[in-house]
Amino acid sequence: MADSDSSPPPSRHAMRRRNRITHLRRTARTRTTHWRRTLICWAAAIMVGVVAISFAAAANKASQLCHHLMLWHPWIMLLVAPAGLALSTWLTRRFFPGAQGSGIPQVIATLHIENFSLVNRILALRTAFGKVILTTLGLLCGASIGREGPTVQVGAAIMHAFSRFMGHANVSARRGMILAGGAAGVSAAFNTPLAGIVFAIEELSHSFEQRASGTALTGVVLSGVTAIALVGNYTYFGHTTVDVPIGTAWIAVLACGVLGGLSGGLFSAILGRAARGIPGHLGRFTRERPIAFAALCGLILAIIGLISGGATYGTGYEQAHAIILGKEHYPASFFILKYLATIVSYCSGIPGGLFAPSLSIGAAIGGWVAQFLPHTAPGAVVLLGMVAYFCGVVQSPLTATVIVMEMCDNQQVTLALMATSFLAFGVSRMVCPHSLYGSLADRFMETQDRALEKSHSAKKKHTETHEES
């Protein structure tokens, strides 16, 4: 007897219709997820632009206050700089660990760390907030630092925070957001969208992935549009029309490329050695009394500032801009003093970047070389010196070329910039075989691994002691 509860099997037409409905539901869910993630990426990129412009305004205000203090009484910096750097170092170590230095090595490290709980800690919004506040404090105290490198870490932290709202996003997607945040930070900080893309590919990731590149492009465009909407379409150093015609004028390419590569490579080698630990009694003093060491660095910065008449304080943007436009002619001592001030600022351990000071030092090199090359436009030699030293420091020739070209809104000098940049890259590699940010990223990851092992050992020891008791 047939079972009364049994039902006839569904027809082929019904099965086809059921499969179609299931497919449509899956497609709708996929599209909804895609659009949700896209909107999250857009919102994050716009937020990066807003924060970058706010950061720039705060940094400029801090630099102006420092300038007013110096004009009121130059000797006041002998008190302000040591106290400010000591306070910044204490706050960094106490409340914002991981915020020290440029911020670019931290972002590079997070792109290679498999443990995302550690990534969450490095790119925490709290750390990004500390980066902004403490970099601004450093500029107020006269440190020779910039805000552009910190903006990269802040941008990466914001994009990473928004990536948590993407649901079950894979590792590649989350890293793509970090990469996009770093690129958006450069774009918004300098108003150089193309340089943001090149920087993300050449310096941060050292690779090109379709998914990551699309996210980075979106982030750069939206953060750049946000910056333009807030402050207008501007160029970092204004507009220049100088050119370097092929011929005898290219002697400047050779001179700037060699000098910029040597000085930039030496700068990278010094900072790399300092990151591994200063040797001797000074190194022991640095490890045992970091706050006092930061105060000592502040005192040295104040003395250098007094010798230079205050020219070495801050980012060096005003000096670089004046040199490019030919309004000021600084002596060779400015290059040397700014060079030393930037090294001391970095070694102090406070948060702060190297981009703006490096551009200022490069402009000073170019301005000094220009006086020996009367057959070449002085403004063009300044740009060549800028790209040469900047590339000598970061060892990223394409990024250096594009960023200087966009900052000055000058495409005529692109070929000479690229030739100078690659020459400086080769010379710098002979002095410092490893890129600065790559070496600092490796050092940062080693420090994080040791801290993690120390934490695990402490927890294990605590557990064993508890079990024994």
pLDDT tens profile 42-88: 888 888 888 988 998 999 999 999 999 999 998 999 999 999 999 99
Q: Which pLDDT value is given to residue 463?
A: 64
pTM (2 d.p.): 0.85
The one-character DSSP state at 353 is B
Structure tokens at 218: 């979106």
Residues of the chain with CATH 1.10.3080.10: 39-231, 248-447
Confirm if 235 and 359 have CB atoms less than 8 A apart: no
Shortest CA distance to 260 belongs to which of 316, 203, 335, 177? 335
Domain 39-231 coded CATH 3.20.20.70: no
Low-confidence ranges of the chain (pLDDT < 70): 1-35, 166-171, 205-221, 224-225, 227-228, 230-241, 410, 449-469
Distance CA 411, CA 417 (A): 10
Q: Where are the alpha helices (DSSP H) in 191-316?
A: 193-199, 210-231, 251-276, 280-288, 290-307
Q: Which CATH architecture has domain 248-447?
A: Orthogonal Bundle (1.10)
Structure tokens at 1: 């007897």
Shortest CA distance to 357 belongs to which of 381, 339, 334? 339
* Torsion, CA 365, CA 367, CA 372, CA 376, rounded to 10: 120
Confirm if 164 and 203 have CB atoms less than 8 A apart: no
Distance CA 59, CA 52 (A): 10
* 145 burial via Cβ count (<10 Å: 0-12, 13-18, 19+): buried
Q: Which pLDDT value is given to residue 351?
A: 93
